[in-house]
Amino acid sequence: MSNLLEGKSALILGVANRWSLAYAIAEAFRREGARLILTYQSDRQKLTVESLAADLAADRVLACDVTQDQDVDRLVAEIKAGGGRLHAVIHSIAFANREDLSRPFVETSRSGFLLAHEVSAYSLVTVARAAAPLMTEGGSITTLSYLGATRVVTNYNVMGVAKAALEAAVRYLASDLGPKKIRVNAISAGPIKTASARAVKDFASVLDFVAQRCPLRRNTEPAEVADTAVFLASDLGRGLTGNILFVDSGFQIMGL
């Protein structure tokens, strides 16, 4: 590839460690010439993300808890003060209580249901609303989903329902922001060994099942998701919005 994102500024939310998909995307964005702004949620994560940002040669590292409107507003104000424009946003944020992923969905607590949706779905809305005024030349907003949004995946439970809301939000945001030349898409990645995936009970068996039955007979690699994110953020993806792109070795096409 050859500097597909040269001259573009990208805000990446969700870089937690070197195994996160957000980190793989940040690496690919940097490779293609993008200027990076990373966020961290709390002081507990600050040193880790700052270390990762140094390895990625990120321009800035800013605090942002997406469940707090004032944090999102402050993030935007700091970006604006530091130069102002954004061309791409990567939303790689999701959370559900571990107990709600380990018991039947019908037993999901009210508080657990609301928390999963606030962090995993509504945060895309608040981030898009805040970032849009900074995308004065248009741009791309990309989030990460999973097959559990449309099919029942054992032990995915409330997170699957939250991802379904996230995918619906992608379509509505794409419609709202299209006149501003802002494209909104989701990548539905196959199961990948990340720290957050460990919260899903029996996740190793999911990896084995998918590798045995998907058309490519292997699990998805983080770099494949990252390259798709580059495509969506670049001019090559200029005609795509409101889409859910599957990067899962073809597993989504399979029946019994």
Query: Quick check: 2 pLDDT over 80?
Result: no
- pLDDT per residue as tens digits for the range 59-72: 999 999 999 999 99
Residue 37 amino acid letter: I
Active site residue 156: yes
Rounded to two decimals, the pTM is 0.94
Say what the pLDDT of residue 142 is.
98
CA dist., res. 95 & res. 31, Å (int): 29
Active site residue 146: yes
Average per-residue pLDDT in the chain? 94
CA dist., res. 191 & res. 187, Å (int): 12
Catalytic residue among 23, 40, 156, 172: 156
**Which spans in 82-134 are helix H?**
98-102, 110-117, 123-131
Q: How many CB atoms lie within 10 A of CB 90?
A: 29
Residue 98 amino acid letter: R
Per the model's pLDDT, the better-predicted residue between 42 and 215 turns out to be 215
| % of the chain at pLDDT higher than 90 | 87
- pLDDT per residue as tens digits for the range 227-256: 999 999 999 999 999 999 999 999 999 987
- For residue 205, name the pLDDT band (cuts at 50, 70, 90): confident
Mean pLDDT of 118-142: 97
Catalytic residue among 40, 122, 146, 172: 146
CA dist., res. 27 & res. 193, Å (int): 17
Q: Which two tokens stand for residue 80?
A: 């604006």
Residue whose C-alpha is closest to residue 219's, from 231, 229, 209: 209
Task: Please report, to the nearest 10 degrees, the dihedral formed by the alpha carbons of residues 164, 169, 172, 177 taken in order.
Answer: -150
Q: Could you tell me how far CA 69 lies from the centroid of its own chain?
A: 19
Under the phi-then-psi rule, with left for phi > 0, alpha for psi from -120 to 50, and beta for the rest, what region is 106?
Answer: alpha
Contact 22, 143 (CB under 8 A): no
Residue whose C-alpha is closest to residue 31's, from 9, 5, 11: 5
Q: How far is CA 19 from CA 24, 52, 119, 156, 244, in A?
A: 8, 11, 20, 20, 23
Say what the pLDDT of residue 200 is.
61
Residue 174 amino acid letter: A
Say what the pLDDT of residue 84 is.
81
Domain coordinates in residue numbering, the chain: 9-248
Strand order from edge to edge, sheet including 60-63 = 60-63, 35-40, 9-13, 88-91, 139-145, 182-189, 244-247
Query: Quick check: 6 pLDDT over 90?
Result: yes
Q: How many residues are listed for the chain in this entry? A: 256
- pLDDT per residue as tens digits for the range 167-204: 999 999 999 999 999 999 999 999 987 666 665 667 78
Instruction: Return the CATH class of domain 9-248.
Output: alpha beta
Sequence-distant (6+) residues with CB within 8 A of 1 are 31, 32, 227, 230
- pLDDT per residue as tens digits for the range 140-159: 999 999 999 999 998 899 99
